Structure 1
Amino acid sequence: MSSEHERLFESADTLQGRLERLGAHAYLSILALLTAGPYVMMILISLMGEGWQPVTPPKLIPDTWSFVNYTNVWVGNTALLDEPFVGFFVNSIIYAGGATLIILAIDTLAGYAFARLEFRGRDITFLAIVSTLMITPMILFIPVYTWFNQFGLVNTRLGIILPHTYSAFGVFLMRQFIKTLPSDLEDAALIDGCSRFGVFWRIVVPMLKPALVTLGIITFITVWNSFLWPLILARDSALFNLPVALGFFQGQTSTLWAPLMAATAITLVPMVILFVSMQQYYVRGFVVGGLKG
C-alpha cells in the first residue's frame, strides 16, 4: 500500500514539475517575443522603400527585399541627410573609445587606492564620490558649457569626450572587485621589494579582467548612446555622433522611417557584437563585484 502511495506522490510531483517548466517556458517565450518584436519591426521597415509611411492596417512585410536604405544612409544619399553616416559612426567610436580608456585608467587606480591603501579621509572621500550618483547630470550642462567655452573646448572632440570621463559607479565597481581579491600575492611582492605601482600593474590588473570588461562595456554603451552632451558641445555637424545624426531623418513635416530604421540598425550593430562577445566577463564582473562590501 505504501508503495502505491509513493508512486502517486512521485507522479504528482512529476506532473507538477512539468507544468511549472511548461509555464516558465511559455512565460519566457512570450517575454522573448515582446522583447524581440520592436527589433524585428525595425529590420522589416528598414527594408522598405525610402518613402514608406505607416498605414492602417499595418503592412510590415516588404514586397521586395532591398538594402538600398542601408547603402544610402551610409554614404549620405537620403532626402534629409546628405552627409555620410560613416563620419558620425567614426565620431561615436572616437568618443566612446576615448572615454572608455580614460575611465578604465582613472577608476582602476582610484578603486585600488580605496580598496588597498590606508590614508586619512579614505572612507569619507569614497562616500562622497559614490553619493554623486544621486546627482542628475542635467544640472551640470550650463556650468560645464560655460567652463569649456572659457578654455576653448566647445566644438572640439576633446570637449565632447571629457564630460564622460567621470564615473562614480566605475570607482565603486573597481573597489568592490579588488576587495574580493586575495592580498597574499601583493604582500609577498611588496616584501620582495616590488613598488606599489608595480604590484598594481603586474599583479592586480591581470586579475581585474572581468571588472574591466564590465566597466568598459557599460561606459562604451553609455557614451555611444550619449545625445545631449554632443548636441550641446558640438556646433559643427561634422562632430556629431550617431544619436544626434539620427535626428536628421525627422523633418519638420515628415519622417523618413525606412532610412531612420536602417540608421538605427547600423547604430545597434557594434553594441550587439560587443555585448555578445564579452557577455561572460560582463556577468562575472557584476556578480563578483557585489560579493564584498
Structure 2
Amino acid sequence: MAAKRIEKTVMIVLLIVVGVLMMIPFIWMLGSSFKPESEFTAIPPTVFPKAPTLEHYKKLFVEMNFLIYLKNTLVIVIWSFVGLFLNAIAGYAFAKFEFPGKNKFFYIILATMMIPSQVTMIPTYLIINEMGLTNTMAGIVLPSLVGAFGIFLFRQFMTTIPDDLMEAARLDGAGELLIFFRLILPIVKPVFAVQGILTFIGAWNSFLWPLIIANDESLYTLSVGLSLLKGQYGTNFGLQMAGAAFMVVPIIIIFTFFQKHIIEGYTISGMK
C-alpha cells in the first residue's frame, strides 16, 4: 500500500509539473498583452506586468478593424452551428430511414474524408467563382456548412437508438420533425457537445479559406487579422500578444464550461 501511495504521489507531482510547464507560454502571452512597451526590453524579463495597461486591447478595437473581424468570425461560427444541425439531420436520415442508394451515398461521403482539403480547394473555389460568390460571406460559409465526419459521427451514434422509441412516438401522432427535435436530439446531446466544440474551434480559427475568398478587408476573420497584425506591427509585441490572447481565451472558456460533456461524448462514442 505504501509503495502504491508513493507511486500515486509521484505521478500527481509529475503531472502538475508538466501541466505548469505547458501553461508557461500561455501565461507569458496573457501577461505580455497587458505590459507597456517599456517592459518588453526590461532585464531581467518579467512574466507579469509591473504596470498593467489596456492600451494594446484598446488599440485593437479602436484604431484597427478587430471589431469587424470579430463580427465576421461570429457570423461564420453561427452558420457553422446551423451546419451542425444539418449534419445531425443527415446522420439521422442515414441511420433511421431507408431510401434508394442509401449505402452508396454514405460510402461516397465516407470516401471524401480521405481526400485532403487542399486537393478540393481549387475546384471549390472555381465553383464558388462560377456562382458569383467570391468576396462574399456566403462564399466563405457555404463550403464548410456540412462535413463528412459530422455526418458519420451522428449516423453511427443514432444507429444505436432503438427503433421502438420512434415507432411509439409515431403511434402517439408525432411527426418526423417533432421526433427529431424532442426525442433524438436529447439522446445525442453528448455527440452534439463534442461536435459543437470542434465546430466552434474550426470556425473561430478559420483562416485559409476566408483569406482566399475575401478580397475586401471588411470580410476578414480574426485569424486573418492576426496574421496581418504580425506583418504590419511586427515590432509591437504587446499588440501581437493582445491579439493572440483574444483568439485563444474564448476557446479555453468554452472548453472549461463544456469539458464534462466533451469527455462524456468521447466516452460514449468509444463504447458504442
Map 1:112-191 → 2, pairs under 5 A? 112-191=92-171
Counterpart in 2 of 1:84? 65
Map 1:205-244 → 2, pairs under 5 A? 205-244=185-224
Secondary structure at 1:181's aligned position in 2?
coil
* Partner of residue 41 from structure 1, selected from 28, 47, 60: 28
Counterpart in 1 of 2:259? 279
Report the AA paired with residue 65 of structure 1.
Answer: P
Q: CA offset at residue 262 of structure 1?
A: 0.5
Q: CA offset at residue 57 of structure 1?
A: 6.2
Report the AA paired with residue 114 of structure 2.
Answer: M
8 Å CA contact 1:227–1:243 kept in 2: the answer is yes
C-alpha separation in 1, matches of 2:231 and 2:180: 53
Alpha-carbon RMSD: 2.2
Counterpart in 1 of 2:14? 27
How high is the sequence identity, in percent, across the aligned residues?
36
Q: CA offset at residue 282 of structure 1?
A: 1.9
Secondary structure at 2:157's aligned position in 1?
helix
Counterpart in 2 of 1:4? none
8 Å CA contact 2:39–2:46 kept in 1: the answer is no
Q: CA offset at residue 192 of structure 1?
A: 4.0
Q: CA offset at residue 243 of structure 1?
A: 0.4
Q: CA offset at residue 30 of structure 1?
A: 2.0
C-alpha separation in 1, matches of 2:106 and 2:17: 43
C-alpha separation in 2, matches of 1:169 and 1:129: 9
Counterpart in 2 of 1:94? 75
Secondary structure at 2:235's aligned position in 1?
coil
Q: CA offset at residue 53 of structure 1?
A: 5.3
Report the AA paired with residue 87 of structure 2.
Answer: D
Counterpart in 2 of 1:256? 236
Q: CA offset at residue 253 of structure 1?
A: 8.8
C-alpha separation in 2, matches of 1:122 and 1:23: 54
8 Å CA contact 2:68–2:218 kept in 1: the answer is yes
Structure 1 residues 189, 63: CA separation in 2 closer, same or farther (over 3 Å shift)? closer
Q: Which structure 1 segments of 5+ residues have no match? A: 1-13, 77-82
Secondary structure at 2:179's aligned position in 1?
helix
After superposition, the C-alpha distances for 1:53-98 in whole angstroms (9 at most, x for unaligned) are 578865544342222111211222xxxxxx2312111111111111
Report the AA paired with residue 16 of structure 1.
Answer: A
C-alpha separation in 1, matches of 2:120 and 2:236: 33
Return the TM-score normalized by structure 2. 0.90
Report the AA paired with residue 217 of structure 1.
Answer: I
8 Å CA contact 1:74–1:86 kept in 2: the answer is yes
User: Is residue 108 of structure 1 aligned with residue 94 of structure 2?
Assistant: no
C-alpha separation in 2, matches of 1:72 and 1:150: 39
Structure 1 residues 146, 53: CA separation in 2 closer, same or farther (over 3 Å shift)? farther
C-alpha separation in 2, matches of 1:62 and 1:34: 20
After superposition, the C-alpha distances for 1:14-51 in whole angstroms (9 at most, x for unaligned) are 22111211221122112211221110010122122247
Return the TM-score normalized by structure 1. 0.84
Q: Which structure 2 segments of 5+ residues have no match? A: none
Rg larger in 1 or in 2?
Answer: 1
- Between Structure 1 and Structure 2, how many residues are aligned? 272
8 Å CA contact 2:233–2:240 kept in 1: the answer is no
8 Å CA contact 1:174–1:289 kept in 2: the answer is no
Counterpart in 2 of 1:79? none
8 Å CA contact 1:180–1:291 kept in 2: the answer is no
8 Å CA contact 2:135–2:216 kept in 1: the answer is yes
Q: CA offset at residue 184 of structure 1?
A: 2.4
8 Å CA contact 1:99–1:162 kept in 2: the answer is no
